[in-house]
Structure 1
């Protein structure tokens, strides 16, 4: 078994939290589950206990970046999956991640393929198709990439790495999410990690379902214009300013309702 934990940053009262925790407890390779929250509610402890999760409360509520960092800090393992509270992890997620880590011990992150779940149905969107193309453009058929150039190439035209499907070597990377960002915390983190040592590993199997819904942070970010602003900032960190603006404008055309 790998040195791994699932950490679940719980914000507010999600109707899907119990289903997420149940999917983590049903893994064919079991890992500790940590439920972390700065916005607890009556019954949260009972939900954690029912699904074998350790509940960690922290304060104050300073936003999504703070929640993610606090959840990672609560883990006692080198490898951590920041599991999103609305998502579902298929039974072999941890086992397949463990196999990828065993085959690439210098990896800094491992991520799997995923499916989008919207209104109870799996769906394929223009943005999801674009992400698949970007992934193949970065990996060129390989299971892992190690050099900075290919890792940056993977991220230059958008963020195809699905955050809830990522397992991080937090000890090696010493990663902290930027708490000033509201939507692109993951893209920013992967860009910074691309400059470090360690491989990015891609497991080409759908091993989790990412739930898209109208109350998500990404959806709110699209409606408020935050996502467009942060996307532009990410592109400007990778391209000259005029080209970054063109890419950001093109990227925004693929935004969909539900925040994919």
Structure 2
């Protein structure tokens, strides 16, 4: 049985995000407190000052910066069985930790927990836009039952794209193989991780409650990767893990339209 003492929020801080303090505040306001720390490959006074204001430790990553490397470092800094990588621009519901622990403890062999989510666009909350409705439709079986250990079900949630929102995920480290993330991918490293996890024995655990909000803005890493077409090539490579190449190319042409949902 996991408790709040087994869980760590690791905030991945980069540069000088104006949203960092709001993210941390949402984690500090959890109804059931978890440990919080900051992980960064870009140490600076701005991050240090915010960390100091919340009395949080800052861990500096060694090695060449990169999303996969940074996320793997974040996991290693946590040193706890349950880890949530909190993206510095996002906000978490006060119920996140409570619902995560309840859901994980209800599963016999959980691999990851993830939740329904909304978005923040131009400072406005957007919970019912088309792309989110599509993802919820894909996850409707998970929503009914709360989890699935079926390889077929887990892969079904991934075969048209990643219906799993990365910052909503908590990793159950004793049941996963490390490193979690590939350093070769720049954008789809989360989808790639879910694909590998889907082959493992164990459950993907899901809460249909909106437990966090993902911020979409022009300076975000995802937006910049879409603009230089990095994501397009990685999307095709991922689709080919689920479909024959000819079918994957057709789906990719349709899927590429949805990338506009990550731009303003």
CA distance in 2, matches of 1:246, 1:51: 49
Q: After the TM superposition, which of the residue ranges 11-20 and 171-180 deviates more from structure 2?
A: 171-180
CA distance in 1, matches of 2:259, 2:47: 33
The aligned counterpart of 1:62 is 65
Give the number of equivalent residue pairs.
259
Question: In the alignment, is the contact (CA less than 8 A) between 2:110 and 2:205 conserved in 1?
Answer: yes
CA distance in 1, matches of 2:261, 2:111: 32
Question: In the alignment, is the contact (CA less than 8 A) between 1:33 and 1:52 conserved in 2?
Answer: no
1:129-168 pair list within 5 angstroms: 129-136=133-140, 139=142, 141-168=144-171
1:89-168 pair list within 5 angstroms: 89-123=92-126, 124-136=128-140, 139=142, 141-168=144-171
1:164-179 pair list within 5 angstroms: 164-175=167-178, 176-179=180-183
Q: Secondary structure at the match of 2:32?
A: coil
Which runs of at least 4 in structure 1 moved beyond 6 Å after TM superposition? none
The aligned counterpart of 1:254 is 258
CA distance in 1, matches of 2:195, 2:201: 12
Q: Give the direction of change, closer, same or farther, for the CA distance of 1:62–1:43 in structure 2 (3 Å limit).
A: closer
Aligned-pair distance for 1:182?
Answer: 1.0
Question: In the alignment, is the contact (CA less than 8 A) between 2:110 and 2:175 conserved in 1?
Answer: no
Task: Say yes or no: does 1:86 pair with 2:89.
Answer: yes
Structure 1 gaps of 5+ residues are none
Root mean square deviation, CA, Å? 1.5
Q: Give the direction of change, closer, same or farther, for the CA distance of 1:187–1:248 in structure 2 (3 Å limit).
A: same
CA distance in 2, matches of 1:164, 1:53: 20
Task: Say yes or no: does 1:224 pair with 2:241.
Answer: no
> C-alpha offsets along residues 171-222 of structure 1, whole Å, 9 cap, x if unaligned?
3202420111111111000000000011001101011111111111111111
Instruction: Give the TM-score taking structure 1 as reference length.
Output: 0.95
CA distance in 1, matches of 2:108, 2:227: 41
> C-alpha offsets along residues 64-107 of structure 1, whole Å, 9 cap, x if unaligned?
11110101100121010011000011111101101101111411
